[in-house]
Structure 1
Amino acid sequence: MQKCPAIPLNDGQAIPQLGFGVWRLEEDDAPDVVGAAIKAGYRHIDTAQGYDNEAGVGRAIAEADIDRQDLFITSKLRNGHQGYDSAMRSLEESLDRLQLDYLDLFLIHWPAPAHDKYAETWKAFVELQKQGRVRSIGVSNFLPEHIQRIIAETGVVPAVNQVELHPAYQQRDIREWHRDHDIQLECYSPLGGKDTGLFENPAISEIAERHGKSAAQVIIRWHIQQNLIVLPKSSKPERAAENFDVWDFTLSADDVARLDALDRPDGKTLPQPDENNEMF
């Protein structure tokens, strides 16, 4: 089984570049689906309090024949739990549901700027990292202005920012900003969803056929070759295994350029970062 490469983080830790996302995965289905993903080779599992499936993910981890230190487990703080004391309590609740002593990565799921609690929440995250309850801390759906504020108030730079990113929505402007600040980007919804039409795109289809791979594998490989952390999700074990099977081919410079050309202004499919997004 091919081992997934790891990306170094600015705090001295490292994160497996290809992870398994579990958004919209039902609690009762999580043990089987996540267990199958671990068997397929995934060692990086990405969940969130707002997904309401942490306990199911925890059962999968407990039942897997894998040492804890060989797994990288991420969760994210629910928007309604922002604030210093609330965030501290909430992390303990996540650890209980996941049956873990620590998280490898804990993220503020959304800045929710109208509530104006993300800066004090970040101070709690810094303390949780000092206590060893969390190995790495980061954010999700944050704009550079939100990140600049938390750095200014704590001096601590997030290890990662998890954002929507795929060939139809490539975020090249913020990618450069994050590189300059040594913050790794994690890409959720990396396959773009139905609205982008990426699976039916003629360029992607031709590249996939030539390499003997699926459209999804080509898109995932595009992320990997640009040093992005990528988090595809699937409730189907065979599809999850296929999405991990991306280590035996390389996109040419021309292949990459053709995918790069698919970026478009209306490519975003999920809420904007500066919305409060009470869903989570």
Structure 2
Amino acid sequence: MNKYLIFGSGLSACKDLEGLRAVCRSAMSHGILQFDTAPSYKTEEVLSKAVSLCGQELGITREEYFIQTKIDPIQMYNGNVAEYFKGKLSQMNLDYVDSLLIHWPLQKYFMQTWESLQWLKENMYVKQIGICNLRVRHLKELYGKGIIPDILQIERHPLNIFEEERAFCERHNILLQDYSPLCKMHPRISENVEVRNIAKKYNCNVGQVILRWHIDTGAFPVFTSTKPARVEQYSHVEDFSLTQNEIEIISSLNCNHKLYLESLVCPGF
């Protein structure tokens, strides 16, 4: 099993059952058993069904695969998150999810939402709880209040390595998940001569090298593809490890580049 890679069903993923089923089958056939979704992606129910069907085909039980979803701002605003989520489980035909994250931690509704997540965990509707899109200053503030998420999910890639956040997670045993891990194959990554040479050395492509960089820096990359062959290709990142020098070469691409600006979506936190 590839215990690090997470297949994401985000906004650029397949939305129909057969398309998503094809990429999920490719993922699960090659040891990728962790899946990420959210209400705003419009894939929660179809992803759960696709993964269940593929699991039945491949002899993979529910206990062996991992499904993660989120609480979006609209659910935070509406309140009564625990009741909402129990209804969502029914719609996804699940007894539990493996992790539930606060997608955009709006400050006004954060504490009541976090308390709901804690209740859901205590009552075994979820196994782990976490937060997305926080910076280290927020993590420190929450830590001072006794709030330590099981998981932090942030946009992280070689053009924005978020070293302070990574180090904080390592110190406090928080699982770090990196979304947009390839930074949409930005030319600064895909055309970099040193990165291409590393790929040539390991007889792989640049995308595989960057996913391996995430793993070798202690993170779980959340990647998305609509192509089963690409999913299979990325599943082979456990076939090699980068040297410390190669990790440093890739990390040196850091230029604080962001694809998504949290302040536009989540003002005030």
Q: TM-score, normalising length from structure 2?
A: 0.89
Retained in 1: the 8 A contact 2:185–2:207?
no
In the alignment, is residue 173 of structure 1 matched against residue 167 of structure 2? no
Judged with a 3 Å threshold, the aligned counterparts in structure 2 of structure 1 residues 84 and 133 are, in CA distance, closer, same or farther, namely: farther
Of 249, 261, 265, which aligns to 1:258? Answer: 249
Of 118, 132, 135, which aligns to 1:143? Answer: 135
* 1:199-278 → structure 2 map (5 Å cutoff): 199-265=190-256, 267-272=257-262, 274-276=263-265
TM-superposition CA deviations, 1:97-120 (whole Å, max 9, x none): 32210010000001123xx10111
Amino acid at match of 1:276: V
Retained in 2: the 8 A contact 1:74–1:105?
yes
For residue 15 of structure 2, what is the aligned residue in structure 1? 27
| Number of residues of Structure 1 aligned to a counterpart in Structure 2 | 260
Amino acid at match of 1:175: R
For residue 127 of structure 1, what is the aligned residue in structure 2? 119
Amino acid at match of 2:73: N
Amino acid at match of 1:18: L
Judged with a 3 Å threshold, the aligned counterparts in structure 2 of structure 1 residues 84 and 181 are, in CA distance, closer, same or farther, namely: farther
Judged with a 3 Å threshold, the aligned counterparts in structure 2 of structure 1 residues 205 and 229 are, in CA distance, closer, same or farther, namely: same
Deviation of the 1:260 alpha carbon: 1.5
Retained in 2: the 8 A contact 1:186–1:229?
yes
Retained in 2: the 8 A contact 1:111–1:146?
no
Deviation of the 1:207 alpha carbon: 0.8
Task: Give me the identity figure in percent.
Answer: 27
Q: TM-score, normalising length from structure 1?
A: 0.86
TM-superposition CA deviations, 1:30-70 (whole Å, max 9, x none): 23322332222211011111110111101112212310000
Greater helix proportion:
2
Inter-partner Cα distance in structure 2 for 1:196 and 1:98: 38
Equivalent residue of 2:258, what SS?
A: coil
Judged with a 3 Å threshold, the aligned counterparts in structure 2 of structure 1 residues 233 and 271 are, in CA distance, closer, same or farther, namely: same
Retained in 1: the 8 A contact 2:105–2:266?
no
Amino acid at match of 1:181: H
CA RMSD of aligned residues (A): 2.0
Retained in 1: the 8 A contact 2:136–2:164?
no
Equivalent residue of 1:82, what SS?
A: helix
Gaps of 5+ in 2: none
Gaps of 5+ in 1: 5-15
Retained in 2: the 8 A contact 1:84–1:123?
no
